[in-house]
Homo-oligomer: A and B are copies of this chain.
Amino acid sequence: MIIVMAGHATPEQIADVEKRIAEWGYGVHPIHGTERTVIGAVGVPEADKARYMESLESLSYVEQVIAIIKPYKFASRELHPDGSVVDVKGVKVGGNQIALMAGPCTVESYDQTMESAVACKAAGATILRGGAFKPSTSVYSFQGLGLEGLKILKAVADSQDMRVITEVMDPRNVDMVCEYADILQIGTRNMQNYDLLREVGRVKTPVMIKRGMWAKIEEWLQAAEYVLAGGNPNVMLCERGIRTFETYTRNTLDLSAVPAVKELSHLPVVIDPSQGTGRRSLVEAMCRAAVAVGADGLLIEVHPHPDRALKDGAQSLTTGDFGPMMDRLRPIAQSIGRSI
């Protein structure tokens, strides 16, 4: 790490910082500039870095402490030069084929889920999405069918030879959800729910971590690090839009996160254009862009009757529109040497 001394730091204060670094057992490399002294500390292990940085920053004669090494190891591409492929019971996420995850926002009934799944399957989806536990901003909104929803999801997916992705919100439910789900989704609001991350790090079921709507890419990778360091190597990420000042779209879908994550990390990245825009009319264009930018998967809300949906109807595609849209996406995937 690099310590920038304050402009007014005295030689004694510079010596004090050097002494602290040396006492911690690290190498001390001062650079005396024309207006500032900068001190390099060499050999500080990750586990101690945050603490020592804060300690030095708390000194009035230190202006700034800068970390040089990235604060994640298992998620980093440096140690894993090849991209990871997560195997979801035979369906690959991260390989040449772009994984298609589709289905209703929320599991409302067996029939609604089945109608959506049949259409999604026909259009090429291999993973069925659907919420059984729903994070709702309002306590008065529908909160999902819970266990019953999980059962519907699994029954429907099994009948269509699809895999299941669904959100788990409560650390107490991880084992239960694992019985029905093939991918555990960590929602945007829970990206830094560390107890939940630790819990899904203890199982082997693949985990998809949605980016917190407030989260920098580095923080998102640190959330993945919780799961990876916990022992679960089957992690994928999902960009679903960040919160900005724009109000026309529900969120701002940050597609540059795909190549950015890919240069920092080996983890697969999925795009959610439904949540990312909040408007059905924008979903297809953003799917095209997501495929072209290099996403490893798409997560799309599809409902047989969006105007009767209990949640997120405004951003759901109809089952009728979904197939033709997928047909229009395939040539784009082919144009970059992938399939969908």
- Residues of B with C-beta under 8 A to A285: 256, 258-259, 293-294
Distance in angstroms between the alpha carbons of A55 and B308 in the assembled complex: 6
Q: Does the CB pair B249–A252 fall under 8 Å?
A: no
Q: Say whether A331 faces chain B, with CB atoms less than 8 Å apart.
A: yes
Copies, count: 4
| Chain B nearest CB, measured from A172 CB (Å) | 6
Q: Which residue of B is nearest A133, CB measured?
A: B195
- Residues of B with C-beta under 8 A to A292: 288-289, 291-293, 332
Q: Which residue of B is nearest A284, CB measured?
A: B259
User: Which of B32, B43, B194, B306 contacts A42, CB < 8 Å?
Assistant: B32
| Chain B nearest CB, measured from A89 CB (Å) | 28
Q: Which of these binds chain B: A92-100, A118-126, A175-183, A211-219?
A: A211-219
Q: Does the CB pair B31–A40 fall under 8 Å?
A: yes
Q: Does the CB pair A286–B293 fall under 8 Å?
A: yes
Q: Does the CB pair A246–B259 fall under 8 Å?
A: no
User: Which of B43, B137, B143, B213 contacts A222, CB < 8 Å?
Assistant: B137
User: Which of B56, B193, B280 contacts A190, CB < 8 Å?
Assistant: B193
Q: Which residue of B is nearest A286, CB measured?
A: B256
Per-residue contact bits, chain A 1-31, to B (CB 8 Å; 1 contact, 0 not)? 0101001000000000000000000010101
Q: Does the CB pair B255–A246 fall under 8 Å?
A: no
Distance in angstroms between the alpha carbons of A82 and B286 in the assembled complex: 21
Distance in angstroms between the alpha carbons of A219 and B336 in the assembled complex: 35
| Chain B nearest CB, measured from A155 CB (Å) | 25
Q: When A140-B47, A193-B189, A293-B285 are in contact, do A252 and B259 touch as well, CB less than 8 Å?
A: no
List, sorted by A's number, 14 A–B pairs whose CB atoms are closer than 8 Å: A4-B68, A7-B78, A31-B31, A31-B40, A50-B142, A55-B307, A55-B313, A138-B222, A139-B229, A140-B229, A252-B256, A259-B286, A263-B282, A289-B292
- Using CB atoms and an 8 Å cutoff, list the residues of chain A in contact with chain B: 2, 4, 7, 27, 29, 31-36, 38, 40, 42-43, 46-47, 49-51, 54-60, 66, 68-69, 71-72, 78, 135-143, 169-172, 189-190, 192-195, 212-214, 216-219, 222, 225-226, 229-230, 242-249, 252-256, 258-260, 263-264, 276-277, 279-282, 285-286, 288-294, 306-314, 316, 328, 331-332, 334-336
Q: Nearest 10 CB-CB pairs, A to B?
A: A58-B313, A214-B214, A292-B292, A57-B314, A259-B285, A58-B306, A31-B40, A331-B335, A289-B293, A189-B192
